[in-house]
Structure 1
Amino acid sequence: MGRAEKKLLRKQSLIEATIICVNKYGYAESTIQRIAAVAGLTGGTIYRHFDNKHDLFEATMRHLLKLVLTEEQRAVAVAQTDTDRLKGVISSKFAPALFNSEFCTVWLHFWAHAQSNPGFSRIERLSDRLLRRSLNRYAKRFMPPEDAEAFVSEISLIVDGLWIAHAQRGSELTSQMADEIAQGCLRSHLQP
């Protein structure tokens, strides 16, 4: 394995360790030392790959967003109609790989700090913009523009709310339940 591949593996290992630490200890208590220990590396190793803790956290948030987008692309790729594509965009937000306690909790920690962290804020705004664009792309094909806009706003809030609800410790909200709630919103907009 070459040097570049090793560097990439270490970075990925640090990102995965960050996810574990933020889920276990929370944002503020996820120290460089804890992250390094989970990754099986020294604290100094982190600084060879990231300038500081915030850079590592931003890279982790970008990684999570990439996973969300990959899941969406996968769902849209198998859909046959625009309605199915729209359903796929919605369902992808509740895919078991994403809509689990660990993923939602970590995303929520980063989302909560977006107000004070410009890097997180950019990633959060990008995430919101991409979701709205995907929803709007298909909704406007069979809804009047004002209805499509209202639907996109409504479903975006529902997705955010369900993720927040699921991030709560002890939540019994399942991926299937969340998807059914969101799909119910779509059904209500599709009825004549």
Structure 2
Amino acid sequence: MPKVGMEPIRRRSLVEAAISAIHDRGSLDITIRDIALRAGVSQGLAHHYFGSKDALIVSAMRHLLTEYGLQVRRELKKADSARARISAIIHASLGPEQFRPETVSVWLVFYVHAQESKDAHALLSIYARRLSSNLVYSLRPLVGPRARTVAEGIASLIDGLYIRKALGSLERDVVAERLVEDYVERQLGDAFGKTE
């Protein structure tokens, strides 16, 4: 008879095992059996909790997105102005917490997986909408009707620089956060009619 309260612990263990397996393989070339062995549970139990490998992979990404969301909220609590909120979002997105090797592996694999999995694509869309809405909310008092366009530029820089940094193709002396902050400053300068 299963112990009461074990399901959340086993689910979390399976999600962490999936993240570890993706990191070790560098791809989704893993099985539910591989993940269950890492988690120390039966393959049947893994199927019982998640139903399929895709559902487990999506749960692993949801776990990372939840951690990211918590980091964004922690950073936003420190912000005392609209401009500081933008910097908080940039820091949460490109700060060291997002570059743990396992996190990077899952994000890179997930971007590819979202092209073929409807559930993964939906989750990636939620991430993109939340990032955009957080940015637009903070940008509106600073750039008015240009908020959506500027937010799209910031989000694109965040995602692109994340991938480049994760792959090691960003020059060593280039700080991703600083590049995004420079873009923001340029956009704010344009909003107030400043030119360089």
- Residues 79 and 88 in structure 2, CA contact (< 8 A), matched pair in contact too: yes
- Return the alpha-carbon distance in structure 2 between the equivalents of residues 5 and 185 of structure 1: 48
Q: Which residue of 2 aligns with 1:178?
A: 176
Q: Which runs of 4+ in 1 moved over 2 A?
A: 2-5, 99-102, 170-174
Counterpart for residue 95 of structure 1: 95
1:110 deviates by 1.2
How many angstroms apart in 2 are the aligned matches of 1:128 and 1:11? 26
Report the counterpart of residue 73 of structure 2 in structure 1.
73
Question: Structure 1 residue 99: deviation in Å?
Answer: 2.7
Q: CA contact under 8 A between 1:104 and 1:166: conserved in structure 2?
A: no
Give how far 1:172 is off.
6.4
Q: CA RMSD in A?
A: 2.0
- Whichever residue aligns with residue 121 of structure 1, its letter is H
- Whichever residue aligns with residue 17 of structure 2, its letter is A
Aligned residue runs from structure 1 range 7-156, under 5 A: 7-146=7-146, 148-156=147-155
Q: What is the Cα deviation at residue 5 of structure 1?
A: 2.8
Amino acid at match of 2:179: I
1:143-166, Cα deviation, whole Å (9 max, x unpaired): 1212x2221111111111112113
Residue 187 (structure 1) aligned with residue 176 (structure 2): no
Instruction: State the Cα distance separating 1:74 from its structure 2 match.
Output: 0.6
Which amino acid letter does the alignment assign opposite residue 73 of structure 1? R
The question of whether the paired residues in 2 share the 8 Å contact of 1:82 and 1:141 is answered with yes
Distance 2:120 2:27 in 1: 13
Residues 84/66 of structure 1: CA separation in 2 closer, same or farther (3 Å cut): same
Q: Could you tell me whether the CA contact under 8 Å between 2:32 and 2:47 is conserved in 1? A: no
Q: Distance in 2 between matches of 1:27 and 1:188?
A: 38
Query: TM-score if structure 2 supplies the norm length?
Result: 0.88
Letter in 2 for 1:79: A
Distance 1:46 1:173 in 2: 42
Distance of 1:104 and 1:130 partners within structure 2: 20
Decide whether the 8 Å contact of 1:71 with 1:95 is kept in 2: no
2:159 aligns with 160
Identity, % of aligned pairs? 27
Deviations 1:73-120 (A, max 9, x none): 110011111111111011110122213332122112112111211000
Larger radius of gyration: 2
2:151 partner amino acid: V
Structure 2 residue ranges without an equivalent (≥5): none
For residues 4 and 95 of structure 1, the distance between their equivalents in structure 2, rounded to whole angstroms, comes to 38
Structure 1: which 5+ residue stretches go unaligned? none
